[in-house]
Structure 1
Amino acid sequence: MQVSRKEQLTRDYLALVDRHLDDLLAQRVSEMLELNQIADTLCVSHKHLIAVVKETRGEHPCHFYVQKIIERSKELLQDSDLPAAEIARLLSYDPSNFSKFFRKYVGKTPGQFRAESTGVLLSV
């Protein structure tokens, strides 16, 4: 079955975000890419990228970028001993902004998430 150009662009976008997050976490790059930079890498305008991803997946590209950042954050919080502040820095966030970002999408701070997912109680 042949994949449409729009579907291929969406797949390429999602794959590029995954590779970029791998590069951030491996410290091969130090800054989070902006949507316009991703679009440039894919050789399309950011408006076209937004329209195509919305059409093929029903959400703005940033929705998927955020979800992937949250997924990676959760994995690191569960599977590593890295402090939340270091995870934030690896993802090019200021630690306090990362905590607010994480809480907005997960409903709890990184520390609360780690404690609940690993069964470790936080001292109050």
Structure 2
Amino acid sequence: MGTREEVTAWRPRVPGVTEVFHARFTDYAYPMHVHEAWTLLIVDDGAVRYDLDRHEHGTPHDTVTLLPPHVPHNGSPATPHGFRKRVLYLDGTRLGDDLIGPAVDSPDLRDPVLRRRVGQLHTALAQPGDELEADSRLTLIGDRLRACLRPRTAEADRRDPELARRLRELLDERVVPGIALDEAAALVRAHPAHLVRSFSAAYGIAPHQYLMSRRVDRARGLLLEGRAPAEVAAATGFYDQSHLTRHFRRLVGVTPGRYRGSAR
């Protein structure tokens, strides 16, 4: 069988993510190697077999694999048609050294919620302008990983309406420029994961969804004034017109152009 390789890699504007790597390999085998970063891996098709710390492991499509930094591992297809995978490389700000031992012992995690969240994160990372969503999703993923690997030390899911209110005020003040999750957490003096959970519990919506809703509301007003969608996108904090269109259609049901054209 001939070699078939498809690779896409980029560095998103999300703190702690050093690289996003999507690949399809038919018969390529990785030799033993190490990474400086944590490796968070999901396989969408096929399977990978690999050795980590002299033990053999596998990655069926329903698992999330977490490989710690500086620990040698390899990788090769475990099915005749190869594998398709999506990988995140995360620096130490996202996952601490205390998880290295548990990750070596149990690198493959069968957790449907975690698997779904990692897939959603990759979708967000592929969309310029959705950095707050990606950062929020990654924060909750890190919290879930810690709960899986060290359940006794996982932070309890507590409601904190006052903290949620303070974050909402920050988002309201910065609808157009936006705010990074770590900056918001520093301003309100809370752990990012607790901040996201508190906001979602209080308002029934994630912080990034709230911010996009506020931006779309502003965009509606400007469109009804007759302003062009590209101009509205820039004025309301969207990355570009396609970014506006994606979120506008999701929340309003039509594109900004059709909405503008319907105005009387």
| Same fold, TM-score > 0.5, yes or no | yes
The 1:85–1:63 alpha-carbon spacing in structure 2 relative to 1, beyond 3 Å, is same
- What is the aligned counterpart of 2:249 among 82, 103, 113? 103
- What is the aligned counterpart of 2:239 among 85, 93, 103? 93
Higher relative contact order (CA 8 A, sep 6+): 1
Q: Give the match for residue 113 of structure 1.
A: 259
Distance, in Å, in 2 between the alignment partners of 1:81 and 1:40 is 39
Distance, in Å, in 2 between the alignment partners of 1:113 and 1:98 is 12
**Which amino acid is 2:228 matched to?**
P
Normalising by structure 2, what TM-score?
0.36
Q: Does 1:18 align with 2:172?
A: yes
> Is contact 1:102-1:110 (8 Å) kept?
yes
How far off its partner does 1:52 sit?
0.8
Distance, in Å, in 1 between the alignment partners of 2:206 and 2:243 is 22
**Which amino acid is 1:84 matched to?**
P
Structure 1 counterpart SS, 2:160: helix
**% identical equivalent positions:** 27
Normalising by structure 1, what TM-score?
0.70
Distance, in Å, in 1 between the alignment partners of 2:162 and 2:248 is 30
Structure of larger gyration radius = 2
How far off its partner does 1:33 sit?
2.2
Distance, in Å, in 2 between the alignment partners of 1:54 and 1:104 is 19
Q: Matched residue pairs, number?
A: 105
Q: Give the match for residue 227 of structure 2.
A: 82
Structure 2 counterpart SS, 1:108: coil
> Is contact 2:199-2:207 (8 Å) kept?
yes
Task: Could you tell me which runs of 5 or more consecutive residues in structure 2 were left unpaired when the two chains were aligned.
Answer: 1-158
Greater fraction of residues in helix? 1
> Is contact 1:99-1:110 (8 Å) kept?
yes
How far off its partner does 1:108 sit?
0.8
Distance, in Å, in 2 between the alignment partners of 1:40 and 1:75 is 33
Q: Give the match for residue 28 of structure 1.
A: none
Distance, in Å, in 2 between the alignment partners of 1:100 and 1:84 is 12
Moved over 4 A (4+): none
Q: Give the match for residue 33 of structure 1.
A: 179
Task: Could you tell me which runs of 5 or more consecutive residues in structure 1 were left unpaired when the two chains were aligned.
Answer: 25-30, 120-124
How far off its partner does 1:15 sit?
1.6
